[in-house]
Structure 1
Amino acid sequence: MQKIVFLDRATLAPQIKLARPAFEHELVEYGHTQADQVAARLDGATIAITNKVPLTADVIAQLPSLKLVAVAATGTDCVDKEACERHGIKVSNIRGYALNTVPEHTFALMLALRRNLIAYRDDVLNGEWQKSGQFCFFNHAIHDLGGMTLGIIGEGVLGQRVAEIAKAFGMRPLFAAHKGREGLGPLYTPWDEVLATSDVITIHSPLTPQTRGMLAMPEFRAMQRTPLVINTARGGLVDEDALVRALDEGLISGIGFDVLSSEPPGDDNPLMRIANRPNVIVTPHVAWASDEAQQALADQLMDNIGGFMRGAPVNIVV
């Protein structure tokens, strides 16, 4: 009998179905799990499922029965993978499920900001249309995506899909070379050139020690076209204090963020302090979360577990 424990089932919508594995098992689901509950809840478990609940080295050392950590997401920074490797525990993740949902959310943010949809909606609700005396009014600038240069940081499947959609809009997509590196081939445009020439910059990178804080004041000061900055990847990729300062100084023209450095954010988060501005859109880490994408994630999650138990593991990180 295999014991499977899902530590944070509430990170998937309630309508999303989890297929039951074919092998004999007990599945225990917790909506949420606090850090001091992890070890007790995984006691005796052979398979742990986590989306965002951290599995630290101290906890992993207390779980001799654990064989697999199945992460219900692409990013695995919540798991101490070196500790898992030391203890012979495999870690799997989810891949390719967000090919539509994240790029679509990315462009929803771009369109809303470039066309000032939030500001115009507020005007309509405040009666500005009625006061205008004509069929339309021009309180806020409206800009097309067509003809704009789109700087893409991150050349994985999501970055590639964003580039495809950008071309359909008539944009010119550029993949940024990795910060501090040159000579990476014809796919890439030098990092500094992307910063200097982009009208919109969108981030689709993993969060690693090398990418943490990759956009800060030096990068914002290098942006010559006051671009929109879009982030649907990870909050820690951007220095949030510097981001707000860049907006205040006119170095960038707008912010569309689906991810923050701490989630849920505290009231003192720099972006939460300015979230009511019309050129700032903050969404609660839902770019990945269309029903279609969530179900694909759930199906792949259980396939990962089934493959591991059959001796044919897939999507193994370590």
Structure 2
Amino acid sequence: MKIILLDGYELNKDLNWDLLNQLGECTFYSRTPVADKNEILKRITDAEIVITHKTPLDDDIISKAPKLNYIGIMGTGYDVVDIDSAHKNNVTVTNIPTYASDAVAQFTFSLLLEVTGQVGLHNQLVHHNKWSKVPDFTFWDKPLFELKGKTLGLIGYGHIAQKVAKLGHAFSMNVIFYNHRPRNTTEQWIKQVSLDELLQQSDVISLHVIQTPETINLINKDTLKKMKTGAILLNTARGKLVNESDLANALNNEKIYAYATDVVQKEPINNDNPLLKAKNCYITPHIAWAPLETRERLLDITINNLKKYLAKDPVNVVS
């Protein structure tokens, strides 16, 4: 059985793939050119098993790979694979639903604490000798905010959002959420609201929905107008949830106080991305998922998904 790993760079550099090698004849590619369909097809033409992280597999590729039986996505989101085409061609697709929930929730609050506490900025200023030159025992160059009593609004209420909600509650925030269908919760400190209510009431809004045709550009000039002036927006989900031009305008016009994101529409980021020159915009390079422990878990589940498929007992199947 031939197994192809299309883009293992982020995991290959410090993790051990020996267990995957034991399941078949493996070929590892650190990277595959995502825009070159001919090269992608060339690499997987003879493969029964394909493992992908961010290399897209659409109908043009899946329908022309005659031996393909299984696609393992090394992540939670499955927008990189044409699921309808996979089903039409009898290809099983699996993903990894919850491997990074703790890490991404932690990172979401890291972004929020950076915006409200300005640790990075003031650390740099101290090391650049600004503190040593002031006449007082203290100084600050940007506003600092308490989270207590602020309203945290979560758009989406899956595993990650539920962990972020608990962190918000631990900081004595008021926590509300919107989900596209009702979600039952036994917690008395959290309330489900409509999207409009969330936009209007929240001091901090955090995005936790998957990318679908319905959620692309969810944050746009119309939804931004409904937000509180001075709100903080967080995004550890997908870059395409946000219309970046509209958001840059809202930041520059001080409608939105700050945007802190780990994702952008085009990754790696383009030099002309409007967010790069927007006021109070914090951007990290898609690293919320990347702690060593999290990636080890990702690898373990990737291999277990394949083992279960080969045992004719598939798990984490994308339907």
Q: Which bin holds the TM-score, normalised by the shorter protein?
A: over 0.9
Structure 1 contact 267–273 (Cα < 8 Å) conserved: no
Distance 1:294 1:67 in 2: 25
Distance 1:252 1:191 in 2: 17
Shift of 1:177: 4.1
Structure 1 contact 207–236 (Cα < 8 Å) conserved: yes
Structure 2 contact 229–254 (Cα < 8 Å) conserved: no
Greater shift, 126-135 or 146-155, is seen at 126-135
Distance 1:177 1:90 in 2: 28
Q: What secondary structure is seen at the aligned counterpart in 2 of 1:20?
A: helix
Report matched runs for 1:64-143 at 5 Å: 64-143=66-145
Shift of 1:190: 1.5
Shift of 1:63: 0.7
Q: What secondary structure is seen at the aligned counterpart in 2 of 1:123?
A: helix
| Residue 56 of structure 2 is aligned to residue 57 of structure 1 | no
Shift of 1:171: 1.0
Structure 2 contact 101–159 (Cα < 8 Å) conserved: yes
Higher relative contact order (CA 8 A, sep 6+): 1
| Residue 207 of structure 2 is aligned to residue 203 of structure 1 | yes
Distance 1:290 1:184 in 2: 30
Distance 1:87 1:13 in 2: 30
Distance 1:54 1:165 in 2: 34
Structure 1 contact 203–231 (Cα < 8 Å) conserved: yes
Structure 2 contact 305–314 (Cα < 8 Å) conserved: yes
Report matched runs for 1:191-230 at 5 Å: 191-230=195-234
TM-score by length of 1: 0.93
Shift of 1:62: 1.4
Greater shift, 129-138 or 196-205, is seen at 129-138
Structure 1 contact 19–302 (Cα < 8 Å) conserved: no
Shift of 1:209: 0.2
Structure 2 contact 5–52 (Cα < 8 Å) conserved: yes
Query: 1:224-258: CA deviations, max 9, x gaps?
Result: 24211110000000100011111111111111110
Shift of 1:24: 5.0
1:160 to 144, 159, 162: 162
Distance 1:264 1:163 in 2: 29
User: Which amino acid is 2:318 matched to?
Assistant: V
Rate the CA distance shift 1:184–1:300 in 2: closer, same or farther, 3 A.
closer
Aligned counterpart, 1:251? 255
Sequence identity, in percent? 33
Query: 1:104-149: CA deviations, max 9, x gaps?
Result: 1000000010112343234324432122122211332111122211
| Residue 309 of structure 2 is aligned to residue 305 of structure 1 | no
Runs of 4 or more consecutive aligned structure 1 residues displaced over 6 Å after TM superposition: 183-186
User: Which amino acid is 2:67 matched to?
Assistant: S
Aligned counterpart, 2:288? 287
Shift of 1:281: 1.4
Q: Which runs of 5+ in 2 are unaligned?
A: 186-190
Greater shift, 166-175 or 11-20, is seen at 11-20
Structure 1 contact 226–250 (Cα < 8 Å) conserved: yes
| Residue 13 of structure 2 is aligned to residue 14 of structure 1 | yes
User: Which amino acid is 1:98 matched to?
Assistant: A
| Residue 174 of structure 2 is aligned to residue 175 of structure 1 | no
Report matched runs for 1:17-36 at 5 Å: 17-21=16-20, 24-34=23-33, 35=36, 36=38
Distance 1:129 1:22 in 2: 55
Distance 1:252 1:228 in 2: 6
User: Which amino acid is 1:296 matched to?
Assistant: R
TM-score by length of 2: 0.93
Q: Which runs of 5+ in 1 are unaligned?
A: none
**Would you say how many aligned residue pairs link Structure 1 and Structure 2?**
311
